[in-house]
Amino acid sequence: MTTGAPRVVLLRHEGEVYTPVMTNGRVLDLADLQALASAPSDRPEIVRRLYLVLLDETELDGGWHYDVAALASGRRLVRIPLALGDSQVPIGELESIVRHPPDAFPGVVGGCLAAVARLAASRLADVAWTGIQDGVLGGLCVELTGEDLEPGQIERVRLGDRGSGHVPGAKVLASWQEPWPDAEDDEDGA
C-alpha cells in the first residue's frame, strides 16, 4: 500500500532490519526528516507521552552490565533528546528518569532506569507515534557521553525498531495522549 502520508515501514533484507520513513514509495532522506521535524503536528492540541525502560542490568558482551543500583535513587528531572533511529533528528525529549528495583517490569533484567518522554508537536513525531502504535517502533538505544553511567551523562536516546535496543529490556512500555493544558488555566496559576 502506497500513501502520500509519511510512515515508518519495517523492512527486512539479508537478516538486517530497517525502519525507514517512506512516502509514495520513496525513502525520506535526512533533509526530508528534518523538514518533517520542523513542520507542525497534525494534532497540535494533543500531548503524547511515552514510558520507557532506558537501561537494565542485562549482561553485555565482555561480561559487564550497567550498574543501575549505583545511581542516585528517586526522580530526576531532565531534558534529554529523543531521536528517531540513527537519523539523530529529535522527535521529543525525556522529562524525568527514575531508578526501579529488580522485577519492576516484565522482561527487564535486574534494576532499571525508566523515563517519561514527551513527543514534540511535529509531523515527524506524529509519524513516530504511528510507528509505535503499529508495533514497528519500540526499541531504545541510549547514547552515553562518558565512561561512568549517570543520568546526567545520557546524551540522547534513539527510538528504533522493537529489536534495536542496546539491551533487550530497553523499550517503550506504554504510550498515551492527552489534551494540552488549557493556556487560560496557566495564566491564573491553576
Could you report the per-residue pLDDT of 56-76, keeping only the tens digit for each? 888 887 877 777 765 544 557
Name the domain count of the chain.
1
- N-terminal to C-terminal alpha carbon distance within the chain: 47
Within a domain: residue 189?
A: no
Within a domain: residue 107?
A: yes
- The model carries a pTM of 0.85
Within a domain: residue 185?
A: no
Within a domain: residue 152?
A: yes
Beta-bridge partners for 158: 83, 141
pLDDT for res 147 = 61
Could you report the per-residue pLDDT of 83-134, keeping only the tens digit for each? 999 899 999 999 988 888 888 888 888 888 899 999 999 999 999 999 999 9
Within a domain: residue 67?
A: yes
Q: What CATH number is attached to the domain comprising 105?
A: 3.20.16
Tell whether the model's pLDDT for residue 45 goes beyond 70.
yes
Cα distance between residue 131 and residue 175, in whole Å = 12
Within a domain: residue 159?
A: yes
Q: How many CA atoms lie within 13 A of 136 on its CB side?
A: 19
Within a domain: residue 24?
A: yes
Percentage of residues of the chain with pLDDT beyond 70: 86
